[in-house]
């Protein structure tokens, strides 16, 4: 199980996916989850691995989706006496399953390093590529006549500015530093990818001229407004290496704090809306899981403890306790 889980983690990181890892860190018998049991939870709500069944599984999936959204770890304690404490990083639930055991689970966010795509082969481009590689970013370079010797250590080098090989730009930062070599074409291609962060290394006048040109070419005002120029944190940089440091610092700031990446913000808004409606985001999750109306915990439609039909609707339960409570007063739980 450990090797299989490790391979799945590596596969998700390679795809650039955000996910969470849950691990049982404490236990009072009887409970099916043992200390050391581990699972990863995808943004779709799919769980790979094992930390417990029944209500434990549903609770962990629900809280893991919030951990992925917030990028903050959380400890979850599920016990017969639960429900007495809740903070930003700690939450208790009642163990409503028949086992009556107690488990404490640590859920941590896992975020893959974003990819930095550098268009251009300027001195700033080379310095930025070297710094980003050293900081463990995945780096690709697009520039006419560029080669691996010019950019040692980068993931990929293409000898023309063409973004078509990159299929997913949700976790991508694009920096255009072409320095007069088809700047307008490169900037336009970068913006057309839909990447949440597109930076253009240029003077204020050059950036203004590019924006005016793009508008005349018919690029939408919304797309043009996404162009960041000047780019980089204001550290009064003068040298090419200092400019590269300021750019990488801004990328790290955006990645960790989500201040400028439009795609990430849209994903966050969607996730928050879904959570507020007590329905985790993701079509796959909605198809496979049903929110138990009694405890508000996701229940697998494929393997529920109980199913009851109420007013033409199938209602799924994770345990006997929720089923009994529902049967006493169904109208209290389904409006």
- Let me know if residue 214 belongs to a domain: yes
Q: Could you tell me if 180 and 227 lie in one domain?
A: yes
Nearest to 199 by CA among 164, 222, 219, 226: 226
Quote the pLDDT of residue 209: 94
* Banded model confidence at residue 108, pLDDT cuts 50, 70, 90: very high
Which residues, in sequence order, are CB contacts of 68 under 8 Å at separation 6+? 18, 19, 20, 41, 43, 109, 271
| Residue from 68, 70, 74 nearest 106 by CA | 74
- pTM beyond 0.85: the answer is no
Return mean pLDDT, the chain.
Answer: 84
Cα torsion through 250, 268, 154, 193, rounded to 10 = -100
The residues, any chain, with a CB within 8 Å of residue 241's CB and separated by 6 or more, are 127
pLDDT digits 0-9 by tens, 200-234: 999 999 999 999 999 999 999 999 999 999 999 99
Whether residue 244 sits in one domain with residue 192: yes
**What is the CATH number for 169?**
3.40.50.720
Which among 85, 111, 137 is the end of a domain?
111
User: Would strands 156-158 and 138-142 be described as parallel, antiparallel, or unpaired?
Assistant: parallel
Question: Which of the listed residues 202, 233, 263 is the one where a domain comes to its end?
Answer: 263
Final residue before a domain boundary, out of 111, 136, 163: 111
Residues 185 and 226 in one domain: yes
CA distance 221 to 201: 20
Same domain, 138 and 105: no
My answer on whether 31 and 77 are in the same domain is: yes
- Whether residue 175 is predicted with pLDDT greater than 80 in this model: the reply is yes
Confidence label for 98 from pLDDT (cuts 50, 70 and 90): low
Strands 289-291 and 298-300 come out as: antiparallel
Asked if the structure places residue 270 within a domain, the reply is: no
* Same structural domain, 100 and 119: no
Question: What is the Cα–Cα distance from 24 to 4, expressed in whole angstroms?
Answer: 18
User: pLDDT digits over 7-25, tens only?
Assistant: 888 888 777 788 999 999 9
Give the integer Cα–Cα distance in Å for 177 and 119.
6
45 domain-assigned: yes
> Would 218 be classed as within a structural domain?
yes
- Same domain assignment for residues 45 and 176: no
CA distances from 301 to 284, 286, 290 (A): 12, 10, 6
Least confident among 99-103, 140-144, 283-287, 319-323: 283-287
Q: Are residues 12 and 65 in the same domain?
A: yes
User: Are 99 and 321 within 8 A, CB to CB?
Assistant: no
Structural domain contains residue 275: no
Task: Let me know whether 14 and 98 are in one domain.
Answer: yes
At residue 274 the predicted structure's pLDDT band, cuts being 50, 70 and 90, is very low
- The answer to the question of residue 272 being in a domain is no
Asked if residue 329 is part of any domain, the answer here is: yes
30 with 133, same domain: the answer is no
What total number of domains does the chain contain?
3
Q: Which residue has the higher pLDDT, 78 or 258?
A: 78
Whether 161 and 82 share a structural domain: no
- Asked if 134 and 224 sit in the same domain, the reply is yes
In a domain, 274, yes or no: no
Can you give the residue range of the structural domain that contains 315?
280-333
């Amino acid at each position: 199980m450990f090797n299989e889980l490790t391979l799945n983690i590596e596969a998700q990181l390679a795809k650039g996916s955000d996910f969470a890892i849950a691990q049982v860190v404490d236990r009072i018998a009887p409970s099916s989850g043992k200390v050391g049991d581990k699972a990863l939870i995808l943004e779709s709500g799919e769980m790979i691995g094992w930390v417990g069944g029944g209500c434990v599984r549903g609770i962990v999936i629900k809280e893991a989706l919030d951990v992925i959204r917030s990028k903050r770890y959380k400890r979850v304690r599920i016990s017969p006496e639960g429900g007495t404490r809740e903070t930003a990083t700690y939450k208790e639930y009642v163990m409503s399953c028949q086992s009556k055991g107690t488990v404490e689970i640590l859920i941590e966010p896992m975020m893959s390093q974003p990819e930095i795509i550098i268009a251009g082969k300027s001195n700033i481009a080379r310095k930025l590529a070297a710094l980003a590689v050293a900081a463990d970013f995945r780096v690709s370079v697009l520039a006419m006549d560029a080669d691996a010797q010019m950019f040692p250590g980068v993931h990929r080098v293409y000898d023309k500015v063409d973004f078509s090989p990159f299929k997913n730009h949700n976790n991508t930062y694009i920096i255009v530093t072409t320095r007069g070599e088809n700047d307008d074409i490169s900037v336009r291609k970068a913006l057309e990818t839909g990447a949440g962060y597109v930076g253009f290394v240029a003077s204020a006048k050059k950036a203004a001229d590019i924006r005016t040109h793009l508008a005349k070419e018919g690029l939408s005002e919304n797309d043009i407004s996404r162009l960041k120029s000047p780019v980089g944190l204001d550290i009064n940089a003068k040298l090419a290496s200092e400019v590269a440091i300021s750019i990488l610092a801004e990328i790290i700031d955006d990645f960790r704090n989500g201040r400028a990446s439009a795609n990430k913000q849209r994903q966050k808004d969607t996730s928050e809306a879904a959570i507020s409606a007590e329905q985790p985001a993701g079509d796959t999750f909605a198809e496979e899981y049903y929110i138990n109306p009694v405890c508000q915990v996701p229940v697998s439609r494929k393997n529920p403890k109980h199913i009851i039909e109420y007013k033409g609707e199938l209602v799924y339960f994770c345990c006997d306790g929720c089923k009994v409570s529902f049967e006493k007063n169904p109208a209290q739980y389904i409006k």
